[in-house]
Amino acid sequence: MITKLKQLSVFLENSPGHLKRMCEILATASVNIETLTIAETNNFGVVRCIVNKPDAALAALVQGGFAVKLIDVLAVEIADKPGALLTILEKAQAANLNIEYMYALTKGRVEAPALIMRFTDPARAEAVMQ
């Protein structure tokens, strides 16, 4: 099963307190973080997260002074067995789809474990992955 989701990408200074402030803003806006991943460099990090209210989260974070984007990603359900990811990667390669990044989603939106995947062409990827 494929589920289209909205993901927040929040750019943070890589120093103490910035992630906490982001989470305080989301909590104040009654936004629940369902899953997240953080990629970092020396000076900055990117928090990618799936939340229960993406539009409210975007508005609250922008108002709080954060640089944030709301983008489309796919939750691609995956079997819990060896080789399951390989099957998905083979489909993507056969369709010449580039996966920019992925991370796991373990609750909330889907029935089975799923991978959050960002493709260069999300609409075509959704059709291919079905």
Q: What DSSP designation does 97 have?
A: P
Residue 49 neighbours by CB distance under 10 Å: 22
Q: What angle do CA 94, 84, 34 make, to 5 degrees?
A: 105
Domains of the chain: total: 2
Report pTM. 0.80
Tens of pLDDT, residues 103-126: 887 765 556 656 676 777 888 888
**Strand intervals (E) in 1-130:** 2-13, 33-40, 44-51, 67-77, 99-105, 114-119
- Distance in angstroms (rounded) separating the CA atoms of residues 48 and 35: 8
Residue ending a domain, among 49, 70, 91, is 70
Residue 57 and residue 8 share a domain: yes
Domain boundary among 31, 49, 70: 70
Report the pLDDT value the prediction gives residue 107, as an integer from 0 to 100: 63
Shared domain check, 62 and 19:
yes
Residues 45 and 61 in one domain: yes
pLDDT value for 80: 83
Q: Please indicate, yes or no, whether residues 123 and 107 belong to a single structural domain of this protein.
A: yes
What average pLDDT does this structure show over 71-89? 92
Mention every residue, 6+ apart, whose C-beta is less than 8 A from residue 96: none
CATH code for the domain of 50: 3.30.2130.10
Of residues 115 and 9, the one with the higher pLDDT is 9
- The boundaries of the domain holding residue 63 are 2-70
Give the list of residues 6+ apart from residue 24 with CB closer than 8 angstroms, or none: none
**66 and 86 part of one domain:** no
| β partners of residue 3 | 75
The verdict on 45 and 79 lying in the same domain is no
